[in-house]
Amino acid sequence: MALANHHLYRGHSLLRRIPSDVRAAVTSRIVFPRASVVAQASPMATAAAPEAPTAQAGSAQKRVVFVVGGPGSGKGTQCDMLARDFGVPFFSAGELIRSLIASGCPEGKQLQDIILQGHIIPSEVTVGLLQKAMATTTSDTVLIDGFPRNHENRTVWASQVGYDCDMVLLFDCPDEVMLQRLLGRAGQGSRADDNEETIKKRVKNFKSQMEPVLEHYRAIGKVTTIRTDRPIADVYAEVSGIWRQRFANTTAA
């Protein structure tokens, strides 16, 4: 499905059938103040966080770090380590989408079909999920993995969230290395989109659709690039060094 086609979904039934709490976050800049249960229990948030409100959690402006890079470049691996060592809440756009699908929502099949084609789902849905996830933490700094993925993701974030990220960490890794890593992960059997055909589409779409996003962020000096075709520990030495230098006083939720 071409990117343009998913506008069919946006004005169509897909958004109307998104669960009401996500839809509210999608359609309003005032997100639900929910407790940080997901972020406290695990740095990885899920779509479902139906917990009681807290005083501080909510839509206050945060320092947001977007972690972007091709599929298999190591975003999840490195974000897990940053979350563990610095206590920074970490939200994965892809995980939030997979959790929404796993929740059995009626539009799940349409979303899964888009993912299996290696395309990007409607940005209002993803930004709504991220807003809801961010509202679960009082931390003033959050890591967001796998977002933005295209120009529309970025512009919908700007209009729905109302402020921009502080920094974009770009993981740069050769296509062939990413392919081999994901085929290795496929052996663990957890993701339907980790098959060679879909991986190749994901890589191709990442490169073409991220170009304008990176151009934008480079022009305003927000991109820090890290080569990730190195051992995990070597990549982390650089990533954690950047984090320490930039966010020494990070306060976790």
Question: Given the rule CB under 6 A, which residues bind ligand C5P?
Answer: 71, 92-94, 97, 115, 118-121, 126, 146-147, 149, 153, 193, 202
Residue 144 C-beta: closest distance to ligand ADP, Å:
12
Which residue's structure tokens are 């977002």?
147
- In the bound state with ligand C5P, the residue whose beta carbon lies nearer, of 68 and 167, is 68
- In the bound state with ligand ADP, the residue whose beta carbon lies nearer, of 119 and 181, is 181
Which residue's structure tokens are 């962020």?
217
Q: Burial, 207: exposed, middle or buried (Cβ in 10 Å; 0-12, 13-18, 19+)?
A: exposed
- In the bound state with Mg ion, the residue whose beta carbon lies nearer, of 76 and 128, is 76
* Token pair recorded at residue 88: 């920074």
- The binding track of 149-188 with respect to ligand ADP, each residue x by CB under 6 A or -, is --------------------------------x--xx---
Of positions 74, 118, 122, 128, contacts ligand ADP by CB under 6 A = 74
Identify the CA nearest to 44 among candidates 89, 94, 102. Answer: 89
Question: What is the Cα–Cα distance from 155 to 153, expressed in whole angstroms?
Answer: 6
Of positions 36, 46, 73, 110, contacts ligand ADP by CB under 6 A = 73
Instruction: Decide: 41 and 137 in contact? Cβ < 8 Å.
Output: no
At residue 1, the 3 state secondary structure works out as coil
Give the alpha-carbon dihedral of 132, 136, 138, 140, to 10 degrees.
Answer: -40
> Near ligand ADP by CB under 6 A, which window of 2-10, 75-83, 119-127, 238-246?
75-83
Judged by beta carbon distances under 5 to 8 A according to partner kind, the member of Mg ion, ligand ADP, ligand C5P, none in contact with residue 43 is: none
